[in-house]
Amino acid sequence: MQDHNYWIYIVTNPAKTVLYIGVTNDLVRRLQEHYENKGIQDTFAGKYYCHKLIYFEEFDYVDKAIEREKQLKKWSRKKKERLIEMKNPKWEFLNAQFSI
């Protein structure tokens, strides 16, 4: 049986003023796409320069990842900030962990 990996992730802009939540089956590729799209007005993440990874969770099943993404998107900014600070108290950019 093949292993499957899925991630929900939160990226922000360099000033840490905007949060973008997404789901992917290839976090490295997705982070690279966010980086390449920075400043492009056609997408929310591009428009607001959201390419700095500050939080992620890994899942074995895509339905669980999507369920979690939907849950987080409904949360208030304050609640999202508390979640990020539990794993990343200084809001350090984590892209380097994924060679991005």
pLDDT band at 1 (very low <50, low <70, confident <90, very high): very low
Domain with residue 37: its CATH number is 3.40.1440.10
pLDDT at 2 over 60: no
Inside any domain, residue 1:
no
Give the pLDDT confidence score for residue 98 in this predicted structure: 84
Give the integer Cα–Cα distance in Å for 88 and 84: 6
Give the integer Cα–Cα distance in Å for 34 and 27: 10
Measured at the alpha carbon of residue 72, what is the angle toward residues 63 and 68, in degrees to the nearest 5? Answer: 15
For the chain, the domain total comes to 1
pTM of the model: 0.93
Burial tier of 11 (Cβ tally within 10 Å: 0-12, 13-18, 19+)? buried
Domain, as residue range, for 24: 6-98
Inside any domain, residue 36:
yes
Inside any domain, residue 23:
yes
Inside any domain, residue 34:
yes
